[in-house]
């Protein structure tokens, strides 16, 4: 039966620049400045090693459950590196590399993971939100910040991260829809790492790509090889420019893979094969970047070693500092801090009663 | 002094504070062009423009979560849930974020947002439009929960709420919206959050109420005075959380008899916490069991029977007599 | 910069068969059986007049706030008429015509609108849900029923209604996504009546059509002239067949217009012009159907009169019956009915105390 | 009798009832292939297949709302919220629909669904993973709210919950999940919802607790016995709503002294309602102010300090001594 057609955007771009061997598609090479590329390397090394250390500390019982980033470093560094200092970063819970790029204190992250609220501290000058654990809910905070930026006519943008699983939550929908209709300066970065805990991407949604979900909101959507830092950065730079220029939001789908456990409480053998993991190990972003940098003569063995040593040093120092801080954080009454600007009277009574109780306990 | 309905008084607070402080913005469903389904925000779009009076898409979680983001940036969003019965669609943004950002960021971010919403029965509305579930918010640490009972206090408390550095849930008794007028001073008047008020003095009985039910308590007090010669002290809570237990505990120490009135379901309602505080702080002065006159532990019936569900003057009087007889 | 393209469905079909004058596009005429067309007419007349009566009763203070359907009769009758008796209907709150098609008791609807829970009664044999007031939330119930049907391998489908505003809610998203990935037998009908209270469709979302939101879930989306009952029925029949045949869900966007107030508490002059309403009055579905039926010789003045008289009779009778029922519904204790299978003890104590209170009240 | 952890006991109930009744289906995030993040549903996918053990997309409102639809059709969905702290994303489906369909349809539809979720602190988890906000559900008419404290009761109550014709919110104390084992009879054992249990008899003091806190109350009772010669009667609530006030009111009439323990924040918490009932039903027998030992009115701190937040044995003992001295 013949019908009229309404044209709607029907194509999702997919960008890939580096192949699995780190060979670049010359035509697409964005030719980024050497110093930037070198910084990509430094921060990817640091993030990788920091993540490994956290995992070790967790296995030793020194920190609690956390969400490793192994394999997703390019997706994070490639995107976050498009932000200016004044821009806002709104993370989910698996963005250690992005936080490190933005200058987060490694010791704070250690402390947070050791179970201390103090580790969640955000320094005054940093336009970064604390990590958000309820999936997808942070998207709305990014949208609110973007609205405020637009209202204040500031030259800032917002970038927010979330996973493939997050796209099934209502908050994803409500956030992208409003950002679209209000034309807000925000970049939505979906790290499609193929799983939401045990749930594979294909069972999460029937849409062929996550990028195409953008069409539901009348905004551009693009898919990119998330383990290819050049491609990720290229796509993100475009989106950031669009946002900065008043062109509104973009949804970026970084196709990547979580090489490690979901969190340290997870057993991936329940839901995926080693073979699959091995396949993705081959596409792992750090080695790919290293191959490319060596080809371009930006990196040699010595540089790699120096980046590795510097990372190890920073991590060691941070953990040492963290242990000292933990030794000092002995006052249980600190849990009453920062509830509100002023502690309400009845809560204060509870605090005082607890203080008296502690005193008798110590007296015993 | 203008003589205003609660709707007008709330609008006055919004308008004055928006003139005062350009970080105040309003957002919600139909708050702009329509002026709100109860006309609370009528005229504000014209004065302040669509960037400050924001008609959002139909999405309560967006309204809550976007307000959190705005507050993080330094704005003072006053968002509206069209009815408290629909606020649950955005409840997680309030519970998990609005109430926690100060804590989570260790003081870097504060969330000076207000969530306004009409609550309560009495206007012959549809299902979900007559709810009184202040407990969901009052039990959540990090939130303040305010329920004014008349125009003047509504204005003064809303000003306090907007200026408060922490998130305030602001329930507006829709049965009171247009029920009566009060003189509301043009000059700025702020009433502190966290303080209750003795609105009628008495030495025989303490009656505690808030929102629309305050007026029923007052009617009951008058009747008790006239018919029984009983002097009821009536306390308007005004803030549910943090609960001001000083005034009602003191009053109970004087009277020994207490009646608590609210329209929310009884079990696990606000009256229970008030009773707990009375036990903790005035136990030895209580002369008889405290009486609760509340909504029943059922869903409020559709409007043909809503008045039977609501605490009536006579139910309050009868409870008062019961406790006084003991 | 050259990129690879990922093809995703990029076309939304738009179907229209009757033009504004009721002239049919011969090529597209689905040539529906005369009796069905005549039934369309009868039920559209009945719904229209019933709606008018409700409005009058509301203005007289005899019923409470309600949501008129004027202008949306074709969108409802055209879709609901694709259901078999055993199929399930999951309405929102503005589907009186669809409910009437499914045999709802007019007196129950009157009673409900007069503020009595008893009017919400669903007869044992009717596979219809009570109206749902929290916007979009009923979509998930439709999805759950559809899942159960599939699990039980029954030959049934589900049809659910919602508005344009509803598409902004998270529940819309969560429901369509799961229906897509689980391949459920459900038809999603969006009555895009251009407004969500005061919010025009263009400010609700930036997507050009609502139908294209289907692509986010990998399911078909189609747009149809919602005031053209032939086109609506054609599209809905296709979707119903797809669902019945195991082909999964469809999103139908019926482009229509709410000619009356949002609810009886609403003042549309705040947000739209009379001119706009007048434009849409011209596309009003009942007259359009009548013109077509007259052209096809299915309807004449006498038939119109007889349908009108029958509608008036049914409505009068129902209201009369309702008034009698109201006179009998005097027991306030009925509000304790149907809380749970058994009333919990403390609630029972409350009921008994209230009963005693009522007794003394009557004694006074 | 097998000796089971609470996780195994819950799984046993699910498996037995799924074998019994093919209208029982399970749905939630990671409940299938993964067997649940705590392994509660481990093995059920293999036995019952993906149509009955449904891995849903990551969407809590879907999980709640889809269960409502399934229940309307006649299934008995047992859905899982991965942690109670995330259940708020679907709260409106529970408040506005699960609890109301019987009422709304005047008996045509009932909602025999169970919403299982781990709650409570004590497993060194992340933010939102240690919440104890049973009040949100307990205050909602039309819902039942159950919290078992050990494996055997968990199994027997879950069976009752699945068979219940009305929606049951089933909180599982994750601190108890693997904490100890109990003999759980293979044969069917059902414990009625709405009944509390005296788990330790005593004549001097009534202690009321539930969930993980029951065990701390028991420890405190033992210590009081040994050190003070005080006989504490300990009542395990088991059901929070509808609250069984018969046993604790009777016990209080005997002892005159009451301590209530829960890990939820104090204000507007379950202890308040218990105190209200005691006032209403045992007022004249109370010899001293009732003591609440609860979580503080703050967000539970991250895990390094969670044990300081939780009621400890010693805090309970100290409260007991306080009330007994009066
Ligand atoms: C609202 C909510 N529901 C459930 C969880 C438990 N949970 C934590 S991470 C996760 C999966 C997230 O998947 P995805 O969005 O793909 O992010 P990824 O973990 O892969 O980075 C779940 C279900 C949560 N944190 N928040
Ligand atoms: C969750 C929720 N939020 C707000 C409301 C108040 N409300 C009732 S109808 C409506 C607009 C609905 O618009 P739409 O979905 O387009 O349906 P229409 O009324 O046009 O049929 C609103 C905001 C509600 N009923 N439910
Ligand atoms: Mg993922
Ligand atoms: Mg509409």
Q: How far apart are CA B144 and CA B106, in angstroms?
A: 19
- Chain A touched by C192 (CB under 8 Å): no
Q: E strands, C11-165, where? A: 11-15, 88-90, 158-163
Q: Which residues of C touch A164 (CB under 8 A)?
A: none
Output the tens digit of pLDDT for each of chain B's 326 residues: 899 999 999 999 999 999 999 999 999 999 999 999 999 999 999 999 999 999 999 999 999 999 999 999 999 999 999 999 999 999 999 999 999 999 999 999 999 999 999 999 999 999 999 999 999 999 999 999 999 999 999 999 999 999 999 999 999 999 999 999 999 999 999 999 999 999 999 999 999 999 999 999 999 999 999 999 999 999 999 999 999 999 999 999 999 999 999 999 999 999 999 999 999 999 999 999 999 999 999 999 999 999 999 999 999 999 999 999 98
Q: Which residues of A touch B73 (CB under 8 A)?
A: 88, 144-145, 148-149, 152
pLDDT confidence of A6, banded at 50, 70, 90? confident
Q: Is D89 in the pocket of ligand 1 (CB under 6 A)?
A: yes
Q: Is B82 in the pocket of ligand 2 (CB under 6 A)?
A: yes
Please report, rounded to a whole number, the percentage of residues in chain A having pLDDT higher than 90. 93
pTM, 2 dp? 0.98
Q: Which of A98, A197, A266 maximizes ligand 1 atoms within 8 Å of its Cβ, making it the mutation to test the pocket?
A: A197
Give the pLDDT of residue B326.
84
Among the partner-chain residues B96, B127, B242, the one whose CB lies closest to the CB of D88 is B96
Q: Could you read off the pLDDT of C79-103 as tens digits, one per residue?
A: 999 999 999 999 999 999 999 999 9
The SS3 of residue B76 is: strand
Q: How far apart are CA B63 and CA B82, in angstroms?
A: 11
- Pick from A19-28, A124-133, C102-111, D28-37: least confident: A19-28
**Number of helices followed by number of strands (H, E) in chain B:** 12, 14
Q: Is C233 a catalytic residue?
A: no
pLDDT at A3 over 90: no
**Inter-chain contact C65–B124, Cβ cutoff 8 Å?**
yes
Q: Is the peptide bond before A277 cis (omega within 30 degrees of 0)?
A: no
Element (H, E) at B145: strand B144-146
Among the partner-chain residues B30, B266, B303, the one whose CB lies closest to the CB of C64 is B303
What is the distance in angstroms between the Cα of D325 and the nearest Cα belonging to chain B?
A: 14
Please count the other Cβ atoms lying within 10 Å of the Cβ belonging to residue D276: 28
Q: Is B89 in the pocket of ligand 2 (CB under 6 A)?
A: yes
Please report, rounded to a whole number, the percentage of residues in chain C having pLDDT higher than 70. 99
- Chain C touched by B104 (CB under 8 Å): no
pLDDT at A2 over 80: no
Which residue is listed with tokens 């000796």?
Answer: D3
pLDDT at C362 over 90: no
pLDDT at A1 over 60: no
Which residue is listed with tokens 């969905």?
Answer: D77
- Chain C touched by A208 (CB under 8 Å): yes
- Tell which residue, D81, D72, D87, D209, has the closest CA to residue D148: D209
D295 to chain B: closest CA residue = B141
What is the distance in angstroms between the Cα of A52 and the nearest Cα belonging to chain B?
A: 25
pLDDT confidence of A364, banded at 50, 70, 90? low
The arithmetic mean of pLDDT across residues C36-54, rounded, is 98
Q: Which of B59, B82, B88 maximizes ligand 2 atoms within 8 Å of its Cβ, making it the mutation to test the pocket?
A: B82
Q: Could you read off the pLDDT of C220-264 as tens digits, one per residue?
A: 999 999 999 999 999 999 999 999 999 999 999 999 999 999 998
Spacing, Cα A194 to ligand 3 middle (Å): 5
Looking from the CA of D302 toward its CB, the CA atoms found within 13 Å total 25
Active site amino acids of D: 129
Spacing, Cα B45 to ligand 2 middle (Å): 21
Chains that touch D (3 or more CB pairs under 8 A): A, B, C
B127 to chain C: closest CA residue = C133
Ligand closest to Cα of B62 equals 2
Spacing, Cα C197 to ligand 2 middle (Å): 7
Q: Which DSSP symbol is given to C196?
A: E
Q: Which residues of A touch C201 (CB under 8 A)?
A: none
pLDDT at C56 over 60: yes
Ligand closest to Cα of C94 equals 2
What is the distance in angstroms between the Cα of A178 and the nearest Cα belonging to chain B?
A: 7
Q: Which residues of B touch D86 (CB under 8 A)?
A: 92
Among the partner-chain residues A117, A174, A347, the one whose CB lies closest to the CB of B61 is A174
Q: Which residues of B touch A159 (CB under 8 A)?
A: none
Q: Could you read off the pLDDT of A241-292 as tens digits, one per residue?
A: 999 999 999 999 999 999 999 998 899 999 999 999 999 999 999 999 999 9
Do D265 and D298 form a contact (C-beta atoms < 8 A)? yes
Active site amino acids of B: 129
Say which of C262, C283, C288, C292 is annotated catalytic.
C262
**Inter-chain contact D136–B136, Cβ cutoff 8 Å?**
yes
Ligand closest to Cα of A165 equals 1
Q: Could you read off the pLDDT of D174-199 as tens digits, one per residue?
A: 999 999 999 999 999 999 999 999 99
Q: Phi/psi class of residue D37: alpha, beta or left (left: φ > 0; alpha: ψ in -120 to 50)?
A: alpha
Residue C164 CA: nearest ligand 2 atom is 16
Do C259 and C280 form a contact (C-beta atoms < 8 A)? yes
Helices A301-328 and A34-59: crossing angle, nearest 10°? Answer: 50
Residue D30 CA: nearest ligand 1 atom is 23
pLDDT at C2 over 70: no
Q: Is A201 in the pocket of ligand 1 (CB under 6 A)?
A: no
Q: Is D255 in the pocket of ligand 1 (CB under 6 A)?
A: no
- Chain D touched by B268 (CB under 8 Å): yes
B241 to chain D: closest CA residue = D267
Q: Which residues of A touch B72 (CB under 8 A)?
A: 129, 141, 144-145
Q: Phi/psi class of residue B120: alpha, beta or left (left: φ > 0; alpha: ψ in -120 to 50)?
A: left
Buried b (16+ CB within 10 A) or exposed e, B68-97: bbbbbbebbbbbbbbbbbbbbbbbbbbbbb
State both tokens at A225.
Answer: 């090889």
* Contacts of A59 by beta carbon, 8 Å cutoff, 6+ apart: A264
* Contacts of B207 by beta carbon, 8 Å cutoff, 6+ apart: B217, B220, B221, B232, B233, B234, B235, B258, B259, B260, B261, B316, B320
**Inter-chain contact D243–C140, Cβ cutoff 8 Å?**
no
Note the ipTM here.
0.98
Q: Which residues of A touch C219 (CB under 8 A)?
A: 206
Q: How far apart are CA C217 and CA D59, in angstroms?
A: 14
- Chain A touched by B71 (CB under 8 Å): yes
With a CB-CB cutoff of 8 Å, which residues 104-133 of chain B face chain D? 104, 127-128, 133
Q: How far apart are CA D266 and CA D287, in angstroms?
A: 22
Q: How far apart are CA B167 and CA A236, in angstroms?
A: 34
Output the tens digit of pLDDT for each of chain D's 326 residues: 899 999 999 999 999 999 999 999 999 999 999 999 999 999 999 999 999 999 999 999 999 999 999 999 999 999 999 999 999 999 999 999 999 999 999 999 999 999 999 999 999 999 999 999 999 999 999 999 999 999 999 999 999 999 999 999 999 999 999 999 999 999 999 999 999 999 999 999 999 999 999 999 999 999 999 999 999 999 999 999 999 999 999 999 999 999 999 999 999 999 999 999 999 999 999 999 999 999 999 999 999 999 999 999 999 999 999 999 98
- Residue with the bigger pLDDT between B134 and A362: it is B134
Q: Is C185 in the pocket of ligand 2 (CB under 6 A)?
A: no
**End-to-end Cα, chain D, rounded Å:** 46
Q: How far apart are CA A251 and CA A13, in angstroms?
A: 11
Say which of C59, C154, C271, C313 is annotated catalytic.
C271
Residue A192 CA: nearest ligand 1 atom is 16
Backbone angles phi, psi at A287, to 5 degrees: -65, -40
Spacing, Cα C198 to ligand 4 middle (Å): 9
**Inter-chain contact B268–D271, Cβ cutoff 8 Å?**
no
Ligand 4 (single-atom ion) residues, CB below 5 Å: C 163-164, 193, 196
Residue A258 CA: nearest ligand 1 atom is 20
Element (H, E) at B205: strand B205-209
Using alpha carbons only, how large is chain C's radius of gyration in Å? 22
Q: Which residues of B touch D265 (CB under 8 A)?
A: 139, 141
pLDDT at C1 over 50: no
Q: How far apart are CA B313 and CA C213, in angstroms?
A: 53
Q: How far apart are CA B229 and CA B238, in angstroms?
A: 27
Residue to substitute from A116, A132, A141, A184, interface B, most B β-carbons within 10 A: A141
Do D63 and D27 form a contact (C-beta atoms < 8 A)? yes
* Contacts of D207 by beta carbon, 8 Å cutoff, 6+ apart: D217, D220, D221, D232, D233, D234, D235, D258, D259, D260, D261, D316, D320
């Amino acid at each position: 039966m013949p019908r009229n057609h309404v044209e709607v955007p029907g194509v999702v771009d997919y960008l890939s620049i580096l192949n699995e061997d780190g060979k670049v598609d010359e035509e697409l090479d964005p030719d980024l400045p050497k110093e930037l590329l070198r910084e990509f390397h430094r921060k990817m090394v640091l993030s990788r090693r920091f993540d490994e250390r956290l995992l070790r500390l967790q296995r030793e019982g020194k920190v609690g459950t956390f969400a490793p980033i192994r394999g997703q470093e390019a997706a994070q560094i490639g995107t976050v590196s498009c932000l200016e200092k004044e821009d806002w970063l709104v993370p989910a819970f698996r963005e250690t590399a992005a936080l490190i790029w933005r200058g987060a204190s490694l010791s704070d992250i250690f402390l947070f993971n050791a179970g201390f609220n103090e580790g969640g501290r955000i320094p005054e000058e940093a336009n970064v939100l604390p990590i958000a654990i309820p999936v997808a809910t942070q998207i709305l905070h990014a949208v609110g910040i973007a609205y405020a930026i637009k209202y204040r006519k500031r030259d800032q943008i917002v970038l927010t991260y979330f996973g493939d699983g997050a796209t099934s939550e209502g908050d994803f929908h409500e956030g992208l829809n409003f950002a679209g209709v209000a034309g807000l300066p925000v970049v939505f970065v979906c790290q499609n790492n193929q799983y939401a805990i045990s749930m594979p991407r294909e069972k999460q949604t029937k849409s062929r790509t996550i990028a195409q979900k953008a069409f539901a909101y009348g905004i551009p959507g693009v898919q990119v090889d998330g383990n290819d830092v050049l491609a990720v950065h290229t796509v993100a730079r475009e989106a950031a420019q669009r946002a900065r220029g008043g062109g509104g939001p973009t949804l970026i789908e970084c196709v990547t893979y979580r090489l490690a456990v979901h969190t340290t409480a997870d057993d991936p053998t329940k839901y995926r094969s080693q073979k699959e993991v091995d396949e993705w190990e081959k596409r792992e972003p750090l080695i790919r970047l290293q191959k490319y940098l060596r080809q371009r003569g930006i990196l040699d063995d010595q540089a790699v070693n120096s980046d590795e040593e510097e990372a190890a040093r920073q991590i060691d120092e941070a953990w040492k500092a963290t242990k000292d801080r933990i030794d000092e954080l002995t006052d249980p009454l600190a849990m009453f801090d920062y509830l509100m600007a002023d502690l309400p009277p009845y809560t204060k009574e509870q605090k005082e009663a607890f203080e008296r109780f502690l005193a008798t306990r110590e007296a015993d | 002094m203008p003589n205003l309905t609660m709707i007008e008084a709330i609008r006055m607070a919004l308008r004055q504070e928006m003139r005062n402080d350009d970080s105040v913005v309003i957002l919600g469903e139909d708050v702009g062009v329509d002026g709100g389904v109860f006309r609370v925000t009528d005229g504000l779009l014209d004065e302040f423009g669509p960037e400050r009076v924001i008609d959002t898409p139909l999405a309560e979680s967006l309204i809550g979560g976007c307000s959190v983001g705005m507050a993080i940036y330094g704005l003072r969003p006053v968002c509206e849930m069209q009815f408290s019965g629909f606020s649950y669609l955005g409840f997680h943004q309030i519970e998990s974020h609005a109430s926690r950002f100060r804590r989570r960021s260790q003081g870097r971010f504060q969330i000076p947002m207000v969530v306004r919403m009409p609550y309560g029965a009495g206007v012959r509305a549809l299902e979900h439009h007559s709810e009184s579930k202040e407990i969901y918010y009052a039990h959540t640490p990090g939130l303040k929960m305010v329920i004014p009972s008349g125009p003047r206090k509504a204005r003064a408390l809303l000003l306090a709420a907007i200026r408060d550095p922490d998130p305030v849930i602001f329930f507006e008794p829709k049965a009171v919206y247009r029920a009566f007028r009060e003189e509301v001073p043009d000059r700025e008047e702020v009433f502190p959050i966290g303080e209750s008020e003795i609105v009628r003095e008495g030495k025989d009985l303490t009656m505690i109420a808030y929102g629309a039910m305050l007026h029923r308590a007052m009617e009951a007090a008058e009747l008790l005075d006239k018919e029984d010669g009983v002097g009821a002290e009536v306390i308007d809570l005004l803030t549910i959380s943090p609960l001001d237990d000083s005034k009602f505990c003191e009053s109970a120490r004087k009277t020994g008899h207490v009646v608590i009135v609210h329209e929310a379901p009884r079990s696990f309602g606000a009256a229970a916490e008030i009773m707990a505080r009375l036990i903790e702080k005035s136990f030895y002065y209580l002369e008889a069991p405290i009486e609760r006159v509340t909504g029943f532990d059922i869903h409020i019936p559709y409007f043909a029977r809503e008045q039977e569900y609501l605490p009536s003057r006579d139910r309050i009087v009868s409870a008062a007599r019961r406790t006084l007889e003991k």
